[in-house]
Chains A and B, each alone.
Chain A
Amino acid sequence: MASDTTSGRRSRFIDNLGKVYLLYTLGFLAFFVLMAILETLGASAQLIGIGFLLFTIGIYAVIGWLSRTAEVDAYYVAGREVPALYNGMATAADWMSGASFVALAGGVYFGGYPYLGYIIGWTGGYVLVNSLMAPYLRKFGCYTVPDFIGTRYGGNAARLIAVVILVVASFTYVTAQINATGTIAAQTLGISFEVGVWLGLLGIFICSMLGGMRGVTWTQVAQYIVLIIAYLVPIIWMSNKQGFGIIPHFSYGEGVFRILELEAQYGLNPPAEPMAGLSVLTTPQTASGDAMSSWKMISLAICMMAGTASLPHILMRYFTTPSVRSARRSVGWSLVFIFLLYFSAPALATLTKLQLLDPNLATSIIGKPFAEVANLEWIKHWASVGMLAVADQNGDGILQLNEFFMRPDIVVLATPEIAGLPYVISGLVAAGGLAAAMSTADGLLLAIANALSHDLYYKIVDPSASTRRRLTVARILLVFIGAGGAAVAALKLTGILGAVAWAFDFACSGLFFPLVLGVWWKRANAAGAIAGMVGGFGAGSLYLYLVYSKTMTPWLGIDDIRFGIIGMAVSLVAMVVVSLATKEPSKEIQDMVDEVRVPSGKAILSAGH
Chain B
Amino acid sequence: MAEDAKAARAAHWAKTRNLTYIILALWALFGIIIPWFAGSLNSMTFLGFPLGYYFCVQGSLIAFVALIWIQNWRQDSIDDEFGHEE
Contact = CB atoms under 8 A, between A and B. Distances in A.
Contact of A597 (B13, B42, B50, B62): B13
Nearest to B53: A286
B72 A130 contact: yes
A342 B62 CA distance: 11
B42 A305 contact: no
A339 interface: yes
A335 B67 CA distance: 11
A598 B9 CA distance: 8
Given A116-B56, A253-B47, A298-B32, A289 B84 contact: no
B50 A128 contact: no
B7 interface: no
A287 B39 contact: yes
Interface stretch (A196-204, A213-221, A326-334, A574-582): A326-334
B37 A249 contact: no
Given A127-B68, A253-B47, A325-B76, A343 B84 contact: no
A252 B72 CA distance: 32
B72 A328 contact: yes
Contacts of A78: none
A503 to B, nearest CB: 20
B48 A127 contact: no
A123 B64 contact: yes
Nearest to B52: A287
Given A254-B48, A305-B31, A336 B65 contact: yes
Contacts of B37: 294
A22 to B, nearest CB: 24
A131 interface: yes
A343 B30 CA distance: 15
A293 B35 CA distance: 11
B61 to A, nearest CB: 5
Given A253-B49, A294-B38, A119 B56 contact: yes
A119 B54 CA distance: 12
A336 B49 CA distance: 22
B75 A328 contact: yes
A294 B36 contact: yes
A339 B79 contact: no
Interface string B4-43: 0000010011001000100110010011100111111010
Given A289-B40, A343-B61, A598-B12, A124 B53 contact: no
A251 B47 CA distance: 7
B57 A346 contact: yes
Contacts of B84: 598-600
The B interface, classified by DSSP as helix, strand, loop or mixed, is helix
Looking at chain A's contact residues, is the secondary structure mostly helix, strand, loop, or mixed?
Answer: helix
Given A132-B20, A251-B48, A305-B31, A332 B61 contact: no
Contacts of A120: 31, 35, 56, 60-61
A298 B36 contact: yes
B86 interface: yes
B20 to A, nearest CB: 5
A285 B45 CA distance: 15
B85 to A, nearest CB: 7
A256 to B, nearest CB: 6
A345 to B, nearest CB: 8
Interface string A261-301: 00000000000000000000000011111100110011001
Contacts of B27: 124, 127-128, 131
A296 to B, nearest CB: 11
Contacts of B65: 123, 332, 335-336, 339
Contacts of A329: 72
Contact of A325 (B9, B16, B48, B86): B86
Contact of A599 (B39, B69, B79): B79
Given A126-B68, A253-B54, A335-B64, A131 B20 contact: yes
Given A127-B67, A130-B68, A323-B86, A289 B42 contact: yes
A131 B24 contact: yes
A191 B52 CA distance: 45
B33 to A, nearest CB: 9
A113 B47 contact: no
A573 B54 CA distance: 36
Contacts of A297: 35-36, 38, 56
A289 B51 CA distance: 13
A555 interface: no
A594 interface: yes
Contacts of B67: 127
A58 B21 CA distance: 47
A342 B72 CA distance: 22
Contacts of A343: 57-58, 61-62
Contact of B23 (A131, A289, A597, A599): A131
A251 B37 CA distance: 23
A253 B32 contact: no
Contact of B50 (A130, A250, A286, A293): A286
Between B37, B62, B72, the greatest number of chain A beta carbons within 10 A of the residue's beta carbon is seen for B72
Nearest to A297: B35
Interface of B: 9, 12-13, 16, 20, 23-24, 27, 30-32, 35-40, 42, 45-50, 52-54, 56-58, 60-62, 64-65, 67-69, 71-72, 75-76, 79, 83-86
Smallest CB-CB A-B distances: 7 pairs: A289-B39, A253-B48, A253-B49, A124-B31, A287-B39, A600-B84, A346-B57
24 contacts: A117-B35, A119-B57, A120-B56, A124-B30, A126-B68, A127-B31, A131-B71, A135-B75, A249-B58, A256-B53, A257-B48, A287-B38, A287-B53, A288-B39, A294-B35, A294-B36, A294-B37, A294-B38, A328-B71, A331-B72, A343-B62, A346-B57, A347-B57, A600-B84
